[in-house]
């Protein structure tokens, strides 16, 4: 789905982790097997019961088997195959032969202006989403601290709802709102602009709809991040004579930085999932490619141009780029995070 | 004091304004769908007189009941399989220590780094070979292992009191019976919250249906997409169909709001 189990999470909320430890007293006998080992300490008879020992060792793997099998079949096998496929020329028809072309697909891809353009559009898309997934949520969460919990819950409920709207339904209602002439937006603005089919605004429309869907989730995450910051810091600063503005700028925001970095990472990782249905059902990458980002380009090469090799090559580059960006963000956020334990 | 009150007022304005802007498109979707077909273009905030003509019109054009049944079946199959598979896997991760544990765990985390657009072609070829293209099973199959479910379940299991498990072991019960008679009954609230979250995700899933259902429009999301293509600007029935596509999830949200929000927050932070 949409979320990351990231190594940032523990660093994000050090005091939260302490809480978890408080709740679950961990005395070092953390696992069942260790507990059992203490009770039935295997003596010299251990080798006699070798089959039983093997049986017991196999148990965790048996529990994991279905999940691992699916993981390998539907994620890691295809990933390896994508590397392989990227060195062939093939039109997806089972009957037609696959021609090995070496690095031909990559050379072709890097020469294509469409590829470079789509990469640039992906960057614009992600940067355009940051206000919705980081800046506005931070402002809203800080504002949420000044209102009563009851009011906050009500606001939160409304802001979160778009996250649950089916993506195609979101595309449908926004197309209706933005319908040239008759839609609510144009009627209010007294314009007949065709927002969705205008090369100047189409990408902006995709950004706004995606931002609308993600905003509520991001606010929840920032809110939880704020709740994890111990009020002791604020109190200490207040005692030292800091103003509320100073506390926000020099205490709260730095402590919140890992959460905000986590949101940037989430934005990067979620864009392929969230924008695809919108683009596929609203613009099909148009008008004149203005909404074709790298994720849609892959789809286009595979299922519209039937160029499997080219799509796989773009997929491989995307995967490597994705890994590099995610690694960089994790690295930055680890440097940013503040350990108070 | 006054400055504080002013700040509070500003916060209320910011939050209320955002809340209104966020909710408006959803309200407008349902408002339009409930207008009389002749009033569809109207800007009056309240749809009056109410009418279900748009819904009956949509039902005439596409087999709505079939679409809902199919979507429901896929979401139910996918969510329950995800829950069961994640339950077993997280049990192994939380209750045992074994060689390669860390590597296997990272294997699940690593899923986030593989966008589905990268794996879609080989998976499409595989499903094609299995004869599952254009079938509902083909839509559900690639989604059955949810890394999110595994990671969240592991969190809950790790927090589970180990003394209970150890006591059951001393009683001589097998790990399988401990899972079902000790762990599952105690984790029921967490399992329920996760089940709802997985159901919502499966219900809204678009990508696999779009890949697998090449020739038919078997689920609501695709039915709606093809409706947008063929019926052009027939906004009333389109909003009715879009409304139906969101309704089950929104009703769940209305009933279980706090639990759903908590489940999503947990999923984002852990």
Contact B18 A30 (CB under 8 A): no
Residue B4 lies in a domain: no
3-state secondary structure of B253: helix
Contacts of B191 (CB under 8 A, 6+ apart): B83, B87, B184
How many structural domains are present in chain B?
1
Contacts of B165 (CB under 8 A, 6+ apart): A32, A35, B95, B178, B182, B183
**Cα separation, B121 vs B100, whole angstroms:** 30
> Does the pLDDT value for residue B240 go beyond 70?
yes
Q: Which of A27-31, A32-36, B22-26, B234-238 has the highest mean pLDDT?
A: B22-26
Domain range spanning residue B94?
62-269
More confident residue, A76 or A181: A76
* Mean pLDDT computed over B179-191: 90
> Does the pLDDT value for residue B248 go beyond 60?
yes
The reply to whether omega before A287 is within 30° of 0 (cis) is yes
Contacts of A168 (CB under 8 A, 6+ apart): A277, A281, B206, B221, B222, B224, B225, B228, B242, B245
Position B268 scores a pLDDT of 58
Percentage of the residues of chain B whose pLDDT score is greater than 70: 97
Residues in chain A: 341
Residue B160 lies in a domain: yes
Contact B104 A318 (CB under 8 A): no
Domain borders along chain A are 8-17+113-336
Position A46 scores a pLDDT of 53
Contact A155 B85 (CB under 8 A): no
Residues of B in contact with A322 (CB under 8 A): 113-115
Facing A82 at nearest CB: one of B122, B142, B170? B122
Position A139 scores a pLDDT of 93
Q: B2-33 and B53-61 helices cross at what angle (nearest 10)?
A: 50
Contact A220 B150 (CB under 8 A): no
Residues of B in contact with A319 (CB under 8 A): 113-115, 118
**Cα separation, A62 vs A64, whole angstroms:** 5
Position A30 scores a pLDDT of 42
Q: How far is B118 from chain A (nearest CA, A)?
A: 5
Q: Which of A112-116, A205-209, A317-321, B135-139 has the highest mean pLDDT?
A: A205-209
Contact B15 A318 (CB under 8 A): no
Residue B28 lies in a domain: no
> Does the pLDDT value for residue A41 go beyond 70?
no
Residues of A in contact with B95 (CB under 8 A): 31-33, 60
CATH assignment at residue B90: 1.10.3720.10
Position B1 scores a pLDDT of 55
Facing A79 at nearest CB: one of B119, B159, B175? B119
> Does the pLDDT value for residue A16 go beyond 90?
no
- Tokens for A239? 């005692």
Position B15 scores a pLDDT of 94
The DSSP secondary-structure symbol of A88 reads E
Residue B225 lies in a domain: yes
Position A47 scores a pLDDT of 58
pLDDT confidence bin for A20, thresholds 50/70/90: very low
> Does the pLDDT value for residue B23 go beyond 90?
yes
Q: A8-17+113-336 sits in which CATH class?
A: mainly alpha
Facing B264 at nearest CB: one of A63, A220, A225? A220
Contact A318 B175 (CB under 8 A): no
Residue B194 lies in a domain: yes
Residues of B in contact with A303 (CB under 8 A): 211, 214
Least confident window among A34-43, A170-179, A260-269, B213-222:
A34-43
Position A23 scores a pLDDT of 39
Q: Give me the phi and psi of A88, to 5 degrees please.
A: -120, 160
Query: DSSP states of A266-314 as a string?
Result: HHHHHHHHHHHHHHHHHTTT-STTTT--HHHHHHHHHHTS--HHHHHHH
- Tokens for A67? 């999940």
Position A12 scores a pLDDT of 38
The DSSP secondary-structure symbol of A97 reads P
Q: How far is B2 from chain A (nearest CA, A)?
A: 14
Give the HSE-up count for residue B82: Cα atoms under 13 Å, Cβ half-sphere: 32
Residues of B in contact with A151 (CB under 8 A): 12, 15
* Mean pLDDT computed over A172-195: 85
Residue B130 lies in a domain: yes
Facing B92 at nearest CB: one of A63, A145, A162? A63
Contact A164 B245 (CB under 8 A): no
> Does the pLDDT value for residue A6 go beyond 70?
no
ipTM of model: 0.89
Q: What is the pLDDT of residues A126-153, one digit of tens each?
A: 999 999 999 999 999 999 888 888 898 8
pLDDT confidence bin for A35, thresholds 50/70/90: very low
Position B202 scores a pLDDT of 92
Residues of B in contact with A66 (CB under 8 A): 85, 88-89, 145
pTM of the model: 0.84
Q: How many CB pairs under 8 A join A and B?
A: 329
* Mean pLDDT computed over B31-38: 88
Position B232 scores a pLDDT of 67
Position B7 scores a pLDDT of 77
Contact A277 B150 (CB under 8 A): no
Facing B89 at nearest CB: one of A64, A82, A319? A64
Contact A39 B16 (CB under 8 A): no
Contact A61 B246 (CB under 8 A): no
Contact A318 B118 (CB under 8 A): yes
- Mean pLDDT across chain B: 87
Contact A166 B166 (CB under 8 A): no
pLDDT confidence bin for A5, thresholds 50/70/90: very low
* Mean pLDDT computed over B198-217: 86
Position A48 scores a pLDDT of 60
């Amino acid at each position: 789905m949409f979320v990351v189990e990231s190594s940032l999470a523990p660093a994000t909320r050090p005091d939260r982790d302490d809480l978890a430890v408080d709740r679950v007293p961990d005395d070092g006998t953390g696992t069942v097997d260790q507990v059992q080992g203490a009770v039935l300490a295997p003596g010299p008879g251990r080798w006699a019961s070798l089959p039983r020992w093997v049986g017991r060792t196999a148990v965790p793997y048996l529990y994991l088997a279905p999940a691992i099998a699916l993981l390998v079949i539907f994620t890691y096998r295809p990933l390896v195959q994508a590397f392989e496929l990227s060195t062939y020329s093939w039109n997806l028809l089972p009957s037609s032969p696959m021609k090995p072309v070496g690095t031909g697909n990559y050379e072709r891809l890097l020469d294509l202006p469409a590829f470079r353009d789509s990469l640039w559009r992906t960057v614009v898309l992600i940067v355009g989403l940051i206000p919705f997934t980081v800046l506005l949520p931070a402002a809203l969460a800080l504002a949420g601290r000044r209102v009563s919990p009851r009011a906050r819950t009500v606001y939160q409920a409304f802001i979160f709802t778009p996250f649950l709207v089916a993506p195609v339904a979101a595309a449908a209602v926004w197309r209706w709102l933005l319908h040239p002439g008759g839609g609510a937006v144009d009627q209010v603005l007294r314009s007949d602009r065709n927002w969705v089919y205008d090369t100047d605004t189409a990408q902006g429309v995709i950004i706004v709809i995606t931002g609308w869907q993600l905003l509520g989730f991001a606010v929840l995450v920032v809110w939880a991040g704020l709740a994890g910051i111990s009020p002791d810091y604020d109190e200490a600063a207040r005692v030292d004579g800091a103003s509320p503005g100073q506390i926000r700028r020099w205490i709260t925001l730095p402590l919140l930085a890992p959460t905000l970095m986590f949101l940037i990472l989430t934005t990067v990782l979620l864009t392929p999932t969230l924008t695809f249905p919108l683009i596929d059902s609203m613009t099909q990458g148009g008008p004149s490619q203005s909404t074709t980002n790298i994720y849609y380009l892959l789809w286009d090469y595979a299922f519209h141009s039937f160029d499997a090799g080219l799509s796989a090559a773009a997929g491989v580059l995307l995967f490597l780029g994705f890994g590099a960006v995610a690694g960089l963000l994790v690295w930055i956020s680890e440097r940013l995070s503040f350990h108070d334990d | 004091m006054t400055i504080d009150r002013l700040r509070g007022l500003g916060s209320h304005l910011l939050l209320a304004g955002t809340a209104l802007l966020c909710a408006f498109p959803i309200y407008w979707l349902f408002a339009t769908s409930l207008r009389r077909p002749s009033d569809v273009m109207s800007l009056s905030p309240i749809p009056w007189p109410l009418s279900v003509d748009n819904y009956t019109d949509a039902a005439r054009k596409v087999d709505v009941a079939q679409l809902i049944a199919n979507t429901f079946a896929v979401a139910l199959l996918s969510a329950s399989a995800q829950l069961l598979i994640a339950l077993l896997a997280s049990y192994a991760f939380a209750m045992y220590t074994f060689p390669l544990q860390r590597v296997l765990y990272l294997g699940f985390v690593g899923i986030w780094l593989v966008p589905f657009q990268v794996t879609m072609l080989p998976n499409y070829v595989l499903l094609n070979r299995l004869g599952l293209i254009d079938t509902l099973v083909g839509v559900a199959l690639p989604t059955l292992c949810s890394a999110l479910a595994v990671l969240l379940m592991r969190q809950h299991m790790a927090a589970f009191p180990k003394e209970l498990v150890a006591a059951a072991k001393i009683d001589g019960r097998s790990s399988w019976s401990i899972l079902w008679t000790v762990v599952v009954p105690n984790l029921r609230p967490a399992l329920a919250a996760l089940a709802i979250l997985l159901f919502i995700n499966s219900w809204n899933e678009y990508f696999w249906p779009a890949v697998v259902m090449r020739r038919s429009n078997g689920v609501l999301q695709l039915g709606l997409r093809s409706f947008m293509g063929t019926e052009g600007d027939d906004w009333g029935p389109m909003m009715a169909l879009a409304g139906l596509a969101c309704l089950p999830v929104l009703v769940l949200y209305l009933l279980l709001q706090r639990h759903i929000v908590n489940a999503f927050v947990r999923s984002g932070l852990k």
